[in-house]
Amino acid sequence: MKKILIIEDEASIAELEKDYLEINGFKVDIEHSGFMGLDKSKNNDYDLIILDLMLPEINGFEICKKLRENSDIPILMVTARKEDIDKIRGLGLGADDYITKPFSPNELVARVKAHLARYDRLVGITSKSNDNIIIRGLNINISSRRVYVNGNEVDLTTKEFELLVFLAQNPDKVFSKDYLFEKVWGEYSLGDIATVTVHIGKIRDKIEADSSNPQYIETIWGAGYRFKV
Ligand code: CA
């Protein structure tokens, strides 16, 4: 059973969230104080944290920052002010999602489920013992260096394969072209970051159903590429 911690100072909201999550099969603890919540999250094995932003003594921003120092579990931020969302994004604190009050409890449950599923996928994909990376219709076998799309093998060159594997093993993170070039080609190689662009294009032609609307390797304008999960 997945365990969720709610850090929320308004008892009625916390109870409502708890009721709906319990109906949906989760085990739920509530903590009304930010400091207590932080303590509790360190001493327990939670799968997800629902964190209210406006708390007395220590606010949700600070708590999120502290939680991220030693944990990567999903954090769902709850805020009463829409303008806080930009702030959450801008600070890059590592919150996974945010929801504004008032929200429907069903929406909260749906988000919780989505983030737990996503987290399980990420852990599965990145576990080192995994010789196979399987995501949607794409199957990459590392030791045999074979790649299948919907069961059909596709031929990748050595560098295309290495680039794809590196991105797939580090999903949901953005890497710049410089970084990828150094990682896959080595810093003393001849060539430049345009090489990365060309190779991404070739990989897309081979694994994507529609290269102009990629489902695996996304272009993040001005930043680089990200493997989509
Ligand atoms: Ca509050």
CA of 120 to the centre of ligand 1 (A): 29
Q: Which of 111-125, 151-165, 167-181 has the lowest mean pLDDT?
A: 111-125
Helix residue ranges, H only, 127-187? 158-169, 177-185
**Tens of pLDDT, residues 20-57:** 999 999 999 999 999 999 999 988 889 999 999 999 98
Report helix, strand and coil shares of the chain as percent, to nearest 5: 45, 20, 35
The DSSP element (H or E) to which 23 belongs, if any, is helix 11-23
At residue 124, the pLDDT reads 67
- pTM above threshold 0.75: no
**Residue 80 C-alpha to ligand 1 middle, in angstroms?**
8
pLDDT recorded at residue 172 = 85
CB-CB contact of 145 with 202 (8 Å): no
Q: Which domains does the chain have, with CATH numbers?
A: 3-123 (3.40.50.2300), 132-227 (1.10.10.10)
Residues with CB under 5 A from ligand 1 (ion): 9, 52, 54
For residue 84, the CA-to-ligand 1 centroid distance in Å is 13
pLDDT of 85 over the 80 cut: no
At 90, the pLDDT band (50, 70, 90 cuts) reads low
**Half-sphere exposure at residue 154, Cβ-oriented, CA atoms within 13 angstroms:** 21
